[in-house]
Structures are given as C-alpha cells and as structure tokens.
Structure 1
Amino acid sequence: MIIPHRKPCIESQLNKEGNINELNNVLNDLLQYDKELHILPSGNASIFIASKIIYDLNNCCNILVPDMGGWKGFINYPKSFNHNVLKLTTNDGIVDINVLDETIKKNNIKALFLTSLAGYLAVQPLKEIKKICSENNVIFVEDISGGVGGNCGYGDIIVCSTGAPKIINCEYGGFMGISGDIKQQLKENNKLENLKHLLKTYKVPNIHGSIKEEALRARETYKKCVVFSNIIKEEFENSYYKDNEGVGVFIEHNNPNEIVKKINNIIKLDDGKSILTKCPLYERILKKGFVLELKKIDIRYITKNNIDEIMYIIKTSLGTVN
C-alpha cells in the first residue's frame, strides 16, 4: 500500500512570497493570545533565540522540560547559555498541574519549555499551565508545531516549525512569537536591541505567502488528523490517550522493531519513508511500541476507506484481526 506523503498545498507552492502583515493576521488568529511574530529558518532557531531571551532576563537559570513527549532542542539549546535543564515528571508526557507547581517552587524554575501536544499524541492542559507559570513568574515557551490549528498559543513565547512534516508544512522555515509582556521586560532590561540584532542574523527568503496559505488550512488539517486518530485509537486495545486528542496514535507493543519492520514491508509513503515511529523515544513516549504518524500523510487526500485499510494491515501484522 502506497500512501501520499504530506506536501504543501498547491496554493502554498504557487504563492511563496507574500505580505508580512497578512501573515501576522492569519497566524495570530490561530493563537490564544496575539504575539509579535518573526519568521525564521527553522523551529530550532526559534528555540535557540528563546533560550537567549531567557538568558537576557534571568542569566543562567533553572529551566524545566517534560520527561517525555518534548523536543530534543528543549534540552540542547538552553545548554548553549549554561542554563540548568531539569526534567518534569509527567503522566506519559502530560503535565500534572500540582506536580508542575511543586517542581517550580522547589527548584526555583525560571522557564518552562513544552509542546502544545505531548509527543504529538495528547493535548496539554495549556490554560492551567499558563496560570501556574504566570503565578510563579516563569517564562512559558510553547512549541505549537503539532498543535497549531487546535487549542494553542498560550505561551509567553511560542515557537513553531514549518518544515516537513508539520501541520503548517512549507518544507522549510519556522517562526516565533513574543508576548507584549516579554518584549516590555526586554526593554526594561536594555536587551530589546540585542534581540533585534540577533533576529537580523536569521534572514530568510520571503516565504510569507507559503506559510500563510498553509496556516489558512491549519484548522482543517489538524481536525482531520484528530478525527482519524480517534477512529484508530478506538480500534486498538493497546492504544493510549483515548480520552484526549492528537495528530498521531501510540500503540503499545513488546517488540516494536519486529512489528514496525513487518508493517513497513506492506505500507510505505510515496517518498519511501515510514508512517511509523518506533518507541521508546523522548520526542514521543518512553514506552515500547510505535506511533502511527497521521501528520506524515497527505491527510487532504485520505479517506475513511484508506484508514480502514491501514488499520487492517496493522491488525494483521499484530495478529489481532477478528
């Protein structure tokens, strides 16, 4: 079975250049709170700059990241500024608000890095997380790459990749957003000009039109991934996060290497890549099994019949066909 891989929409491919003001309007419409937005070469560049902002406001400090379901850049880039990175104990990647509050107070945490969706698999309690961070003067850095189009954009700083395969998929680039409060703090600490100079070193081609066209379709893309994920979760006893929404499905299995190899021999994307991710993996979940990555599939051209066929192949490989 060959499945089309996720590609930018036709409009995004044809209209690469665009107006930055139009793009800002479209992107901010997807966020819970408006931000000052900056287009960058990648999501990783956004995380690096966020780490620099935290340094400018707090010097070297304690930073919190989830113990799973995060992004490796959360751990690597803050270390460039000698921040001390601590891991927050979660429930399979999902933040427990009480544990978060206790950990922040106990360890004098100054910033939290978190994805809107834990491992692309489940929504975080973002409103409550934002409240705890605000009460404790913690800078909340939210990676919305997997959650844009859904409930996202609570962070004081938001970062997003628009590379492949993401919800906003331009096969290149990313952006970051900074709240008015963070901008004011930088100004008061005489660090705002430093940020402006740093951003100038990250010049990118005009891809405003490309990002805008994909962003206009983000809600539809996200919703379709969630709908198909929910259908799949209901069909597999060993799937996780059944009462939550995500853009991928984790299925627990004791021998992920064997089962992934077996499924990959039957299902492939048209670019030759796999639709599965083996676990345990920090970026998903630290348990044995595999993730079916709906975000890798060109979801616009996938039907319920296609999903049924994928599920049948997985069930056959698992030996669970009724």
Structure 2
Amino acid sequence: MILPYRKPSVRGIVESKGDLKELITVIKDLLKYEMDISILPSGNAGLYVASYILRNIEKKECENILVPDMGGWKGFLEYPRTFKFNVVKLKTNLGMVDPCTLEDILRKNDIHALFLTTLGGYLVHQPMEEIKKVCEDMDVILVEDASGGVGGTCGYGDIVVCSTGSPKIINCDYGGFLGINKKIEDILRDNGKIEELKNLLKAFKVINIYGLMKEEALNARKTYRKLVEYCDILKEKLEKAYFKGEEGVCVFVEHENPGEVSKKINKVIKLDNGKSFITKCPIYERVLKKGIVLEMKKIDINSLSLEDIYEIANILKNIL
C-alpha cells in the first residue's frame, strides 16, 4: 500500500508570496491567547530566541529550565544550555505531565521556565490549561512548542514556538514562528531589552512565503481534526496502541522488537517518496519505551478516505 507523503498545498505553492499582516492575523486566530508574532526561518530559531528571552528576564536565584523526560523536542535539551541554563528533567507519564505534582516540582527545583510540547511526542494532548495555571501561580514562564498541536487547542504559553517545516501541521518545508504574550513583552520593556530582541529578530532573515504559510495555517484546523480522527480509529483497532481516547496526531504501539516489526511494515506500507512512516522507539522525541510510532503527520491525511484508514489498520493488525 502506497500512502501519499504530505506536501505543501498546491495553491500555497502557486501563490507562495503574500502579506505578512494577513499571515499574522491567521496565526493569531489559531492561538488561545493574544500574542505578538514574529515569523522566523525555523522552529529551532524560535527556540533559540525563546532561550535568549529567558536569559534577559531571568530571576537571579533561578538558573533551572524544566523539560519533560520524554516526548519533547531535542532542542529543549540544547538551546537553554547555550545560554548557560541548567536543564532539569521532569518525570512524566510517557511524555504526559501531571499538573497535580507539577507545583511541588517547580518549587523544589527553583525553576525559571518550563519547556513543553502541546502534544507530548505528537501522541497525546497535554492538560495545558491546568499546567498554565500552575506555572502562573508559581511565577514560572511556560514555553510551549505548538508544532504538533496547532489547529487544535494550543497557544497557552507565555512564549509559543511553532515549526512550519516538513512534515508539520502548518506544512511549508521551511519556517516557523514565535509568539510572546504581553507579560513577557512588558518585562522585556521594563528591563530595557525590547530593542535588543527586535535587533536579534532582524538577524533571522525570512524568505517571503507568507502566502504559503497563510494557506497552510488556514487549513490547520481541518488537518489537525482529520489527523486526530484517523489516529483514534487506529488506536481503537490496534490492541497495543497507547493513549486511546486522547488527542494525538501520531500513534504509539508497544512492541518488544521494534526493528523487526518496522521492517515488516515497510515491506507492505510505505510513503510515495519511498520513505517509512514508522519511528522506532525508545526515542526522546516520542516515548522511551519499546515500540513503534505511526507517523500519521507524514501522510497527506486530507486525501485519505475512511476506507484507506481501515485498510491500514487491518494490515497493521496482521503484522502486530
């Protein structure tokens, strides 16, 4: 079975240049809270700038950045260290944060900021509203990577980072954006750092693909909903799938021999670019448990029918 690899929309490619203000208007509509948006060349650039911001609004006694022990972005471990922060790992339930224990952990570790993905490992939606409240109560800055959750309920962070590379929900093969809320903006202004930030952002030159980004952002809710719907079907059909009943855009299935089962799947299901849609685990960016992840976000999900998904499920059931 050959599955279509997710590519940027044809209309977006044809009309790739566009108006920056229009793009920002569309992006803001996807986020839960009001943000000042900057377009960047990558999600990694956004995470770098986020770490720079944290260093410029630091509290003297707080040098620690809290990151999930799995289900995060590799950059969570790297960029804070570039700015001389200590990285502390938060124990999670396969990438999912428990708000009930978070307050105690924040207090005991003198945490300056929490880095978190809206969807842990692209697999499960974090309880973002509860996490945001805990962070606010503890005066901890929440940095949210919304790359996998944009189109769903996202944009709770004081700082929001999103990649629009490939394959993502906003799928442009390039770019990303950074959002900061009024609280962060006011602190930077009070510290005399707002102009420094503006100058740093100018250093990240961005190609004008605002038309493409806008088109993909306009389709984000549709894409996200379809991914969640089809992932729900696969989780229901596959006995050892995790996070049943939870929102996710990829599916983790436990297996004792991920290498062997990946080879079997790749023989019968592959993407039309010849690549696999399987990620072998354990891996930090998904879960630290033996198994495989079905990378549904790599597929042109809007071109698949329900019949296609049930066919995929039946093939996988026979292998797994």
- TM-score of the pair, normalised by structure 2: 0.98
**1:163-312 to 2 correspondences below 5 Å:** 163-312=165-314
Q: What is the identity, as a one-letter code, of the residue corresponding to 1:27? A: I
* 1:210-232, Cα deviation, whole Å (9 max, x unpaired): 11000000000000000000001
**Structure 2 residue ranges without an equivalent (≥5):** none
Task: Please point out which of 154, 157, 160 is paired with 1:155.
Answer: 157
- TM-score of the pair, normalised by structure 1: 0.97
2:33 corresponds to: 33
Name the CA distance, whole Å, in 1 between partners of 2:46 and 2:95.
Answer: 22
Q: What is the identity, as a one-letter code, of the residue corresponding to 2:260? A: E
2:93 corresponds to: 91
CA shift, 1:241, in A, is 0.5
CA shift, 1:207, in A, is 1.4
Native 8 Å contact 1:66 1:93 kept in 2 = yes
CA shift, 1:107, in A, is 0.6
**How many corresponding residue pairs?**
318
3-state SS in 1 of match to 2:38: strand
2:72 corresponds to: 70
Is structure 2 residue 48 aligned with structure 1 residue 48?
yes
3-state SS in 1 of match to 2:57: helix
* 1:148-181, Cα deviation, whole Å (9 max, x unpaired): 0001000000000000000000011111101111
Name the CA distance, whole Å, in 2 between partners of 1:273 and 1:305.
Answer: 22
2:107 corresponds to: 105
3-state SS in 2 of match to 1:165: coil
CA shift, 1:260, in A, is 0.3
Native 8 Å contact 1:115 1:144 kept in 2 = yes
Name the CA distance, whole Å, in 1 between partners of 2:15 and 2:126.
Answer: 34
Moved more, 13-22 or 254-263: 13-22
2:145 corresponds to: 143
CA shift, 1:243, in A, is 2.4
**Structure 1 residue ranges without an equivalent (≥5):** none
Q: Report percent identity of matched pairs.
A: 57
Q: What is the identity, as a one-letter code, of the residue corresponding to 2:111? A: I
Name the CA distance, whole Å, in 1 between partners of 2:150 and 2:143.
Answer: 14
Name the CA distance, whole Å, in 2 between partners of 1:288 and 1:304.
Answer: 29
* 1:233-272, Cα deviation, whole Å (9 max, x unpaired): 0111111001211001110000000000111111110111
* 1:184-222, Cα deviation, whole Å (9 max, x unpaired): 100101111110111011011111111100000000000
Name the CA distance, whole Å, in 1 between partners of 2:23 and 2:34.
Answer: 13
Native 8 Å contact 1:122 1:244 kept in 2 = yes
Name the CA distance, whole Å, in 1 between partners of 2:17 and 2:252.
Answer: 37
CA shift, 1:98, in A, is 2.0
Name the CA distance, whole Å, in 1 between partners of 2:230 and 2:295.
Answer: 11
Once superposed, which parts of structure 1, at least 4 consecutive aligned residues long, lie more than 2 Å away? none
Q: What is the identity, as a one-letter code, of the residue corresponding to 2:164? A: T
Q: What is the identity, as a one-letter code, of the residue corresponding to 1:289? A: G
1:23 corresponds to: 23
Q: What's the Cα RMSD here? A: 0.9
Name the CA distance, whole Å, in 2 between partners of 1:143 and 1:286.
Answer: 20
Q: What is the identity, as a one-letter code, of the residue corresponding to 2:29? A: D
Native 8 Å contact 1:89 1:99 kept in 2 = no
CA shift, 1:280, in A, is 0.6
Q: What is the identity, as a one-letter code, of the residue corresponding to 1:109? A: I
2:128 corresponds to: 126
2:2 corresponds to: 2
Q: What is the identity, as a one-letter code, of the residue corresponding to 2:189? A: K
Q: What is the identity, as a one-letter code, of the residue corresponding to 2:157? A: G
Name the CA distance, whole Å, in 2 between partners of 1:78 and 1:11.
Answer: 38
Native 8 Å contact 1:148 1:167 kept in 2 = yes
3-state SS in 1 of match to 2:155: coil
